[in-house]
Structure 1
Amino acid sequence: VQCISATESHSPPKSVHSSRKRKGGGGNSIYGKRQELIDWVLRDDEINRALDILCMREEARQGPSLYKQVQARLKRHPVVSAMGSEFMFSVMDYIVKEKEE
């Protein structure tokens, strides 16, 4: 049997206490990364909810107001339109006052 010296060997030297060291801070890194991922998911959900609220507000602004909708219906009604615009405005004022109370 022929012995090969350590300098001729292609494998890394072995020691009695040889062990692989973990990169990234030890055993708790998995839990830290998991918590970080959970935090990101929660932030993402919060941002999506805020964007949904903003979209709903924008959609509400784009449609005609309740006042305009009622006014358009009153103008289309033949009996109301025959009574004139003064009557329509008095009805609209009544609706606004009732809404405030």
Structure 2
Amino acid sequence: VAKRAVGTVKALWKKAKEENTCPYTALSMYRITPLDDKMPSPYELLYGRKPNSLLPISKGALLSHHPHVDDHLEKNRAKQAKQQEFYDMRKGGKKREGR
């Protein structure tokens, strides 16, 4: 999947260069496009909500309606907590209260 994503981004950059358009716009559009009907966009996975755009839209419509977005967020939080434990163990840090 990662190799395919890299290939897609390279193709987008090449096409933007050929058409003399902004490659960052193409990359932005790629990031906000859902991967398939079962997986939200990379932006939604990262931020847990739909991206803002220049089009007028209600605040409720920006919330993710993907059925599994909570699962992705929970897995991400668990992964971050585990990484924090390993980092603290290695650096001798103490776990802060409230986390």
TM-score of the superposition, structure 1-length normalised?
0.29
Structure with greater proportional helix content? 1
TM-score of the superposition, structure 2-length normalised?
0.29
